[in-house]
Amino acid sequence: MKLFAEAGLRGTAILGSCLLALAGCSLPAPDGTEAALIARAKDMPPLAPAQGRAAKDVVRNGLLLHPDVRAAASSVAASADQVRVQRGALFPALGMTVGGGTGSAGDGDPAVRMNVSQLLMDFGKTKRAVTSADMDLQINYITFQKAVDDAAIELLEAYDAVRMNTEALAVYKRQLAAMTELQKLVSERVEIGATTAPDLLETQKRVQNAAFLVQDAELALADAREQLERRSGQSAGGAVPEFRGGCALRGETDKMRIARLKMAKAEIDLEQAQKARVPKITVSPLARLGTGDTSTGFGLNLGVSSDLLEGGALTARASVARNARDAAEAALDSAERDASLSSRKALRNITAGARRQEMLKRQIELLAKTRELYRSQYFDLGKRSISDLLDNEEEFYTRQAELVELSSKMATNRLSCAVYTRALRGSMELAGQTLYNLPLDADNL
């Protein structure tokens, strides 16, 4: 403070002017995609934990715990910061140097030097950098939305897997009970001499096979419950809601939107690389607050700079951008084709699955009738072999297990269709809420 006092009121005024310039260096309110996200999320409540055990509650709780969703949200925040970094070049920059020296070549008495640098013109270079960063933000936000959909499907599949394995275990337990009952009946026939010991051995072998199926089903159910609890905090599963809204694409998929943005960003990056040698013009007001023999004063510098040669890096950078643009264009074509093929495949699988369900139900009915007939022929008439009886018994329960597994596959295909039609989040009551301060609506910005 003693040094500043020696410089007088004029130096104080210079310092105050520079501090005012520093205040002007702060960025204004968010702009572009970040501002749009903030505006949309402003009146939306945050996603809160659920207390129930229904499918929508599992999805809600699972999204709050899912690491991929959290990582995607962090990428959005990082992209928003990167946009601010690029926008910072449009606003004044303030620098300060404090120093002094001795000798004929030294700086003399201590002095404070402050300068403000302001970009006047760079022929769109900074604006292109801001636009490119904003597109990265859009890409990461759509990636966040895709992560939400992927996590929701993963949670619903885990929820349904518990249901499927529970029902499969019940089928195999009924099979084991039926085989055990047959073993008892065959054993009684062996005791009275109505049949031979090989029939009993064959029946005992089938009982052991059924016991192995029960054990495998118990292990699968335990694993499914553990997976669901790890993802959502609960181990109770259930049936996934049936989505009956068809499978036609509603607008572009997230992959298509990302590919389209990457192609647009690649075009901007290519233009940026092609215009790398375009100069930029800056103006730099200076202020020096000196002591002793060091004078106090103002100055103004005007600078023109351009990257003329970087050892081949400028040409290589343009080549990289050109290749990235071509790759993005190919990725967009691939995303459009894959989306159409995937939606049609899911619809075919649902249609074929429905037909197969009816076929399995009819076959189970026939096997039930054959089951009673074979039992009567073996135990009452002695005209049916034990192998025919046991084969039919196993097939009767195998078809029931297939029906349970098929219902789970159809649920998975319907979940895919719910994503294509953008009905998944609405059915899970996620729309109109935010997660990590980001809107969960599936609509475009």
In a domain, 1, yes or no: no
Q: What is the pLDDT of residues 151-208, one digit of tens each?
A: 999 999 999 999 999 999 999 999 999 999 999 999 988 888 888 899 999 999 999 9
Q: Which residue has the tokens 């009146």?
A: 43
Query: Distance between CA atoms of 185 and 189, rounded to whole angstroms?
Result: 6
Provide the domain limits for residue 336: 46-91+123-279+313-438
What would the pLDDT profile of 34-56 be if each residue is shown by its tens digit?
888 888 888 899 999 988 889 99
pTM strictly above 0.85: no
Is residue 131 in a domain?
Answer: yes
Q: How far is CA 36 from the centre of its chain?
A: 21
Per-residue pLDDT tens digits for 357-416? 999 999 999 999 999 999 999 888 888 899 999 999 999 999 999 999 999 999 999 999
Residue 104 covered by a domain? no
Asked if residue 353 is part of any domain, the answer here is: yes
Residues 6+ apart with CB under 8 A from 243: 414, 415, 417, 418, 421, 423, 424, 427
pLDDT in tens, 388-403: 999 999 999 999 999 9
The contacts of residue 311 (CB under 8 Å, 6+ apart) are none
Indicate if the pLDDT at residue 331 is higher than 70: yes
What CATH number does the domain containing 191 carry? 1.20.1600.10
Structural domains of the chain, count: 1
Q: What percentage of the chain exceeds 90 in pLDDT?
A: 45
CA distance 14 to 41: 44
The answer as to whether 116 is a domain residue is: no
